[in-house]
Structure formats: C-alpha cells, structure tokens
C-alpha cells in the first residue's frame, strides 16, 4: 500500500507523478490543439493579405489546403488530448477508491468517528472530485500556451497591443486566482456535509428493523432531512462561491478584451497596421475569451479537488493512526507466533504491569475470558493485524460484529459471487446451527438475504457468519463472542458441534473470546484474566471449583464473569 501523503497538495502531486504516462502526451496534444486554435485568426489574416486582397487564385488554393491541415491537427489534438486526460482522471479516481477501500477493509478498527457511510462517501464523491483536476490539467496548460501564442503574435503584429496583452492578462489571472482558497473551503464543507448525510443514512439503515418496530419512522425521516438539508445548504454555498468566481473571471476577461480592442482600434486609425493584421488581432482577441474563461473555471475546479484530496488524506491518516494503536500507549503490543504445533501469544499486557502468555495447540479449543474489556480489545487488534500478514487459510479473525451482504445464504457462507451450486458441508451447517435456519426459510441455502441481512434476526445472522468462518477452515480460527444473540439451547448445540468439527481436523487451532458457559464447558482449556491478581488456566469445571487460597479471589471473579 502506498505511503499516505501528509496533505491534500501532496496527494495531488503524487497523483500527477503516477499518471505522467497519460498526462504528458495528453498535455502535449491538448496544447497542440489550443495553439492551432490560436493560429486560426492568424491564418485567416494571412490569407486576406496574400490571396484575397491580391486576388491570387493559386495562393487561395494553397491557403485552403493550409487551413484544412490546420483544422485537421486542431481536431485530432483535442480528440486524443481529451481522451488521454480523461483516462488519467478515471484511472486515478479508481486508484483512490481502491486505496481508501483497502485501508478501510484491512483496518482492525475504523476510527471511532468514521462511520461506513462517511467512508463510502469519501471513496466515491471525494475520489471523483479529487481526480477531476486531471481532466482540466491538460486544458489549463493548453490555455496558457494558447494565450502565450496569442501574445507572441500580437507582439509581432503590433508590439504595443502585444505588450498590453502581456501585462493585462497575468494581472487578470491573478485577480481570478485569489478567491480560489475560499472556494476550496466551501467545497470541503460541502463534502463533509454530504459525508455526514451518508453516515446518517447508513446508521438509519442499520437500525431500520428496530426503527419500524418502535414506530420511529417520523423521527428517522426528520433526522435524515436535517442532515440532508445541511448538505444542500453547503452545496448551494459552494455553487454560489464558484459562480462568483466564474463571474469575476468573466468580468476580468471582458475588461482585458476591451482594453486590447481599444488599443488595436487606435493603432488602426493611426495607420500602423494592415487589414490582415487587424483581422488577425481582432480574431486573436476573440480567441482569448475561451482560454481566459477556461482558466477562470479551472481555478474553481482545482480548489474543489484540493478540498477533496485533503479529506482523503485526513481519512487515510486517521486509519494509520488507529492502526498504530494495538495496545495501551504505555504497553507494547503482544507478540503472535504460529509454528508447526501451536499458536503462541507472548507478552500480552493486561494491566498493572502484568503480562500473560497464551498457547493453543493445534487440535484444541481455548477460550479466553477477561474481566476488563481493554486487554481483550488490544489482543484482538494485534491478532487481526497479524492475520493480515499471513497466507490465505492460515489464520482468520471473525469479529463479533456480523456483516452480511445482499445475496444468498450460500454466497454469504462461501464468499463466492454468484455461488450457484458451491457446496457447503453438512458438518459446517450443523456446527454453526445454520441447518435449523434452513428449515425456516424458503429455498434453503439459496434463500435470498437482503442488504445487511435485514430479513434475518440477530441470532440467524450470527449463525451464518459462524458458518462462513468454519467453511473457510483456517489453520487458526479466532472468534469473538460468536453467539450472543442465540438462545441457550442452540448455543450449547453449536458449542458442541464446533468443538467436534474443529477437533476432527487435527491441524486446526481455535481461540474464542467469550464468557458463554456453553463454549467454556466445551473448551479444552480456559484462560481467565482478572482485573487484578494472577491469571487462571484450566478447564471450566476446574476454575469454577478452584478453592486454593492464592486463587480464591480470581476464582470468585471467574464465577461472577461467566454467570448469566
């Protein structure tokens, strides 16, 4: 994964560097188009002087061929230049979406203030907005070169008029560029408001079943309407500021052109230029309107791109900062090792300058119970980080939060798009309790699941997620409270089935973070980490019955932790 830029400007510069293969020829061909367009009035003026006024038919034919060639180069230059610059835009937008999505999907935990709806907004709207500058980069450089061509011609045709252009145009461009920062600020505010609206919509959709059950539709609509209105207000503010910038650009352009026309007219009255030169100057003056208007628009677009790039950079930085926190700031992250016989966790900081070592041999099931949730979260984050560095099938961390996707039960278990007849073993269905679910729905494994699993209960979603983890059959499986929404009888059946399935595959180790008595009773070993005092290791029944004076307090804490 590429190194995260530290600012929006750095992100845009990095984007330019990695799209040079498209941008360089795109800028060249777009510049060729704009320079040829600038030469059109020059060519017309020359035709008037050498063919029309002298009434020369041969020169007229040559002139027609020359203008045809000029327009051919002009047309092809724009066609291929625009195609290359737009390709750079689409490739970079895609690369940014992939980078944002990869960072979000591989993060152990998203920053607490970043909801999925906001990440989706940044990965779509912001990525597209940041990349839109590429479509304008070639046009902007071409506009500048076209204006330089015009100024050079004017200097040759009439030095006074050319000097006026060389002075007035840069001043006009500076005036147009000055409000660009305010447009960037407004655009950034708009994108943030859109992201908040997306976050609100995602939040409401997650809880839609509860909202409907509680009759809270009106509250939900009012809540989303408020965030949506804020996004609309921010969009209007951005449009207003962008419109003011475009209006300022049009005003400055008109003033510059008026000055050029006045100077050229005075020079003509004095008899200091030919008719062809006058036609060329007037045509060149008219030509200047297009690049000046384009540059005024491009300033606003680049300001919006910079604002979007800044938001992307901030999200990636926040994810990086979150990833660096896998344990309390005053304690190192635990070490996780997998060898031929077991998975070993060393130096797991559990508070009060205490560390715990945990070893789970292949073919066994170990449960971990913590009295304080903070060490548990730190260890889960460390295991998730370690799992991302292993080969596929070696280690899988299945979180407590269940994520199901629109499709079938089969596709959610096998994670194969359009799973069709992809097989799922009866042992997996039995161990996860999904076999009971299949008897309650139509079409069995091919029963359609709505977005986010909205047509399943919490317990049913947990069973499908557990089946997905068991179907993957990793060498090391880490589960975090996999059955909290399942009834006690079903949970006991799942615990027994999971133990049988994993132990039958002798090369597999299973580690479960849970306080469920059903899983604890089925476990080969239980590790209990109290808030204070020594940790306990043993079978569930042994820990419940522990009466040794040195472990009495820990045993009492264990009994309290696992009693429901």
197-200 long-range Cβ contacts below 8 angstroms, 24+ apart: 197/121, 197/224, 197/227, 197/228, 197/230, 197/231, 198/117, 198/118, 198/120, 198/121, 199/115, 199/116, 199/117, 199/118, 199/121, 200/117, 200/224, 200/227
Q: Cα(196)–Cα(267) distance, rounded to whole angstroms?
A: 59
Nearest Cα neighbor of 408 from 400, 398, 396, 419 is 419
Q: What is 45-83 written as a DSSP string?
A: HHHIIIIITTT-HHHHHHHHHHHHHHHHHHHHHHHHHHH
Q: What is the pLDDT of residue 435?
A: 87
Q: What is 112-165 written as a DSSP string?
A: TT--HHHHHHIIIIIHHHHHHHHHHHHHHHHHHHHHHHHHHHHHHH-HHHHHHH
> How is residue 514 written in tokens?
């849970």
Q: Cα(27)–Cα(80) distance, rounded to whole angstroms?
A: 10
Q: What is the pLDDT of residue 277?
A: 65
Sequence-ordered list of residues with C-beta below 8 angstroms from that of 543, at least 6 positions apart, any chain? 526, 528, 536, 555, 558
Nearest Cα neighbor of 337 from 383, 300, 381, 405 is 383
Nearest Cα neighbor of 160 from 243, 263, 23 is 263
What are the pLDDT tens digits along the chain (564 aa)?
A: 456 777 877 888 888 888 888 888 888 888 888 888 877 877 777 787 777 777 878 888 888 888 888 888 888 988 898 888 888 888 888 888 888 888 777 665 555 555 566 677 777 778 888 888 777 777 778 888 877 777 777 777 777 777 777 677 677 767 766 665 666 666 667 666 766 676 666 666 655 555 555 566 676 677 778 878 877 887 787 777 777 777 777 777 777 777 777 776 776 677 666 666 666 666 666 677 677 767 767 776 777 787 788 878 888 887 776 555 444 445 577 888 888 788 888 888 887 778 888 888 888 899 999 888 888 888 888 888 777 667 767 888 888 777 777 778 888 888 776 656 678 888 988 988 888 888 888 878 888 887 667 777 888 888 888 998 888 888 888 998 888 888 888 889 999 999 988 888 767 889 999 988 888 989 999 998 888 878 888 888 888 877 555 567 777 787 877 775
Sequence-ordered list of residues with C-beta below 8 angstroms from that of 563, at least 6 positions apart, any chain? none
> How is residue 124 written in tokens?
């779509």
Domains in the chain (CATH in brackets) are: 8-323 (1.20.1560.10), 335-404+473-563 (3.40.50.300)
Adjacent-strand bridge partners of 359: 344
Q: What is 10-23 written as a DSSP string?
A: HHHHHHHHHTHHHH
- Cβ neighbours of 389 (radius 10 Å): 9
Sequence-ordered list of residues with C-beta below 8 angstroms from that of 460, at least 6 positions apart, any chain? 437, 453
Q: Cα(359)–Cα(382) distance, rounded to whole angstroms?
A: 15
Q: Cα(524)–Cα(205) distance, rounded to whole angstroms?
A: 40
Q: Convert the pLDDT of each residue in 508-550 to its tens digit.
A: 889 999 988 888 989 999 998 888 878 888 888 888 877 555 5
Contact, 316 vs 4, CB < 8 A?
yes
């Amino acid at each position: 994964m590429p190194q995260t830029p530290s600012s929006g400007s750095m992100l845009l510069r990095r984007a330019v560097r990695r799209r040079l293969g498209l941008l360089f020829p795109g800028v060249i061909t777009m510049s060729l188009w704009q320079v040829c367009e600038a030469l059109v009035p020059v060519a017309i003026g020359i035709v008037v002087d050498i063919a029309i006024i002298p009434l020369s038919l041969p020169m007229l034919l040559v002139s027609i061929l020359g203008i045809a060639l000029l327009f051919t180069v002009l047309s092809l230059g724009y066609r291929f230049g625009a195609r290359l610059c737009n390709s750079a835009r689409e490739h970079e937008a895609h690369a940014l979406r992939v980078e944002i999505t990869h960072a979000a999907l591989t993060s152990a935990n998203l920053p607490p203030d970043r909801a999925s709806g906001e990440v989706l907004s940044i990965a779509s709207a912001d990525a597209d907005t940041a990349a839109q500058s590429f479509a304008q980069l070639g046009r902007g450089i071409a506009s500048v070169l076209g204006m330089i061509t015009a100024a050079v011609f004017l200097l040759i045709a009439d030095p006074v008029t050319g000097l006026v252009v060389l002075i007035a145009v840069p001043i006009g461009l500076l005036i147009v560029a000055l409000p660009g920062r305010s447009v960037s600020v407004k655009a950034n505010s708009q994108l943030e408001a859109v992201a908040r609206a997306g976050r609100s919509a995602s939040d409401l959709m997650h809880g839609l079943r509860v909202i409907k059950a509680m009759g809270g539709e009106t509250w939900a609509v009012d809540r989303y309407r408020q965030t949506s209105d804020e996004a609309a207000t921010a969009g209007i503010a951005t449009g207003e500021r962008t419109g003011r910038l475009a209006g300022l650009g049009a005003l400055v352009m008109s003033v510059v052109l008026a000055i050029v026309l006045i100077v050229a007219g005075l020079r003509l009255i004095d008899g200091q230029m030919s008719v062809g030169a006058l036609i060329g100057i007037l045509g060149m003056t008219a030509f200047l309107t297009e690049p000046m208007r384009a540059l005024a628009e491009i300033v606003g677009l680049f300001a919006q791109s910079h604002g979007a790039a800044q938001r992307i950079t901030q999200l990636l930085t926040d994810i990086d900062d979150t990833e660096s926190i896998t344990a309390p700031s005053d304690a190192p992250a635990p070490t996780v090792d997998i060898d031929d016989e077991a998975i070993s966790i060393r130096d797991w900081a559990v508070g009060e300058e205490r560390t715990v070592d945990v070893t789970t041999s292949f073919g066994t099931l170990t449960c971990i119970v913590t009295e304080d949730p903070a060490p548990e979260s730190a260890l889960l984050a460390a295991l998730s980080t370690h799992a991302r560095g292993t080969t596929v099938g070696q280690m899988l961390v299945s979180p407590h939060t269940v994520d199901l996707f629109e499709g079938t039960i089969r596709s959610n278990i096998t994670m194969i798009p359009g799973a069709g007849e992809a097989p799922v073993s009866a042992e997996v269905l039995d161990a996860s309790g999904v076999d009971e679910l299949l008897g309650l729905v139509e079409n069995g494994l091919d029963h359609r699941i709505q977005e986010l699993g909205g047509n399943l209960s919490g317990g049913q979603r947990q069973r499908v997620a557990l089946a997905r983890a068991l179907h993957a059959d990793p060498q090391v499986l880490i589960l975090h409270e996999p059955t909290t929404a399942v009834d006690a009888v079903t949970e006991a059946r799942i615990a027994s089935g999971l133990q049988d399935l994993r132990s039958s595959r002798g090369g597999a180790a299973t580690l479960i973070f849970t306080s469920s008595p059903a899983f604890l009773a089925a476990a080969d070993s239980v590790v209990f980490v109290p808030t204070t005092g020594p940790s306990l290791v043993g079978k569930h029944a042994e820990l419940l019955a522990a009466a040794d004076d040195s472990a009495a307090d820990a045993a009492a804490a264990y009994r309290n932790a696992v009693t429901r």
